């Protein structure tokens, strides 16, 4: 039996998670959703992991929901469908809130739930021939479960277009609307560009990166109130007094690498 998800960790602490259902373009089913949630939960809690790369085997990143899985879901009761949707939502939340820096390397078809996965990652590199689509309305559905993450990535204006038209768009358009950060001509070059990001990530302090990510969630779309200013002041005060904060300042003054720095 072929594993639907492959996970490895190299000597730098970089984990690679590969969707491995290439025969169905890495489409989601119950097993893959469960394995993704389990993998990102474990990797997020692993002190030896510094960053996570998410990619897909074969010609596609992820074509969204598996057709056989969707056929089965069509016969579910509303209660069963609710349970099923919450499982998918839980996996996306686990990825989105993962305390480790995450990089998606995207090639080929990236539709529906695949766009949701991309939206939950911190950095996204797409091969220039990648194709994206939020195709749910053509099936009489909506991108409900992935919507919080997709709207956060592309904004409401682009979402109003692509949620309704379900049209396909390319990597250049994905970058224009904020879904993608970098475009590479080939998959090999995409991995090379990921290496540059990883070099920068591995120079940062792990706990500071975790807290910096949480900081974004804490301040986004918030009115700047006394409460928010107090919270952000507390955060930096705690960082300055932390072991990492002291080590970072000492390393800077002594013109040396901090203890957490790893050569990429």
Count the alpha carbons within 13 Å of 233 in the hemisphere toward its beta carbon. 7
Query: Considering 35, 72, 136, 247, which one is annotated as catalytic?
Result: 136
Helical residues (DSSP H) of the chain, grouped into ranges: 30-45, 67-73, 78-96, 113-119, 147-165, 171-176, 187-201, 206-219, 226-241, 243-253
223 is catalytic: no
Distance CA 229, CA 214 (A): 15
C-beta of residue 169 within 8 angstroms of C-beta of residue 134: no
Tell how far CA 138 is from the center of its chain. Answer: 25
- What tokens does 72 get? 């089965």
Catalytic residues, by residue number, are 136
């Amino acid at each position: 039996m072929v594993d639907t998800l492959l996970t490895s960790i190299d000597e730098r602490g970089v984990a690679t998670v590969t969707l491995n259902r290439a025969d169905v373009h890495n489409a989601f089913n119950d097993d893959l959703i469960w394995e993704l949630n389990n993998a990102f939960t474990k990797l997020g809690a692993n002190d030896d992991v510094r960053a996570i790369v998410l990619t897909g085997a074969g010609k596609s990143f992820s074509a969204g929901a598996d057709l056989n899985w969707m056929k089965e879901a069509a016969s579910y009761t509303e209660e069963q469908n609710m349970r099923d949707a919450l499982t998918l939502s839980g996996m996306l939340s686990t990825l989105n809130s993962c305390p480790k820096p995450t990089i998606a390397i995207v090639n080929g078809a990236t539709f529906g739930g695949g766009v949701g996965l991309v939206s939950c990652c911190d950095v996204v590199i797409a091969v220039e021939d990648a194709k994206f689509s939020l195709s749910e309305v053509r099936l009489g559905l909506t991108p409900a479960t992935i919507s919080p993450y997709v709207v956060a990535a592309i904004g409401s204006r682009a979402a109003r277009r692509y949620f309704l038209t379900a049209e396909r768009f390319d990597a250049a358009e994905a970058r224009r609307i904020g879904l993608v950060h970098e475009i590479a001509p080939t998959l090999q070059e995409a991995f090379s560009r990921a290496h540059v990001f990883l070099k920068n990530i591995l120079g940062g302090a792990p706990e500071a990166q975790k807290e910096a990510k949480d900081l974004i969630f804490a301040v986004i779309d918030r009115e700047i109130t006394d409460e928010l200013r107090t919270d952000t002041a507390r955060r930096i005060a705690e960082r300055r007094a932390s072991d990492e904060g002291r080590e970072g300042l000492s390393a800077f003054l002594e013109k040396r690498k901090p203890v957490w720095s790893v050569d990429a």
